[in-house]
A and B are shown apart, each in its own frame.
Chain A
């Protein structure tokens, strides 16, 4: 059974850097079938796709966050991470990691595994 588990500080001060990690179990971050993704959800609002990192280290970021965003993958620990710099109150949200799955025939099948989410508040 594949599981994702987010971890990181629940409170970050404005202008600082938010760092989150997603530990993967039951699957390998080196698999060619998966794009390891981050999604966030501000309180009471909808889902916002943040970006993905692939096993090679290739990334694709939401253009609105691109200038502040960095993702990395650690194959030795089977985990991937997100760093968002210069945070403001607008970055307060529940942050989810998820697996974007490309099947063997090349077709994507959606975000099929999600972490439980970790709430992050930006406040002084």
Chain B
């Protein structure tokens, strides 16, 4: 199975700052990656698919990039609702696999 590795584990950021999250796949997966946000006590929510396509309701301050094995999620100016845990997931093949998550917390 494809292993997804996210970094850093925790990112401490101030509101209004820029945050960049990374995700690396153990083999090439083209752009078959999605990003999810999970707030405490809630289900994950799809933010980005196809590495860079925003899902409905995803604000344009969130952007995804990358292809092959390395991917990024960038939040250009953090708002209060952005402080959460983010997961990348590959859907290049089965089984689907998730990264271990990056927690974005208040600095």
A interface with B by C-beta (< 8 Å): 37, 46-49, 51-52, 60-63, 96, 100, 107-112, 114-117
Contact = CB atoms under 8 A, between A and B. Distances in A.
Interface of B: 1, 32, 34, 36, 42-46, 49-50, 53, 55, 87, 89, 91, 94-101
Contact of B55 (A47, A51, A107, A112): A112
Chain A binding surface SS class:
strand
B87 A46 contact: yes
Given A111-B34, A111-B96, 16 more contacts: A46-B99, A46-B101, A47-B44, A47-B101, A49-B97, A51-B95, A60-B94, A108-B32, A108-B91, A109-B34, A109-B50, A110-B46, A110-B49, A110-B89, A110-B91, A114-B44
Nearest to A115: B43
Contacts, number: 62
The 3 closest A-B pairs by CB, nearest first: A110-B34, A110-B49, A114-B43
B66 to A, nearest CB: 15
Contacts of A108: 32, 49, 91
A109 B96 contact: no
Contacts of B46: 110-112
Nearest to A37: B96
A33 to B, nearest CB: 14
A63 B94 CA distance: 10
Contacts of B98: 46-49
A34 to B, nearest CB: 13
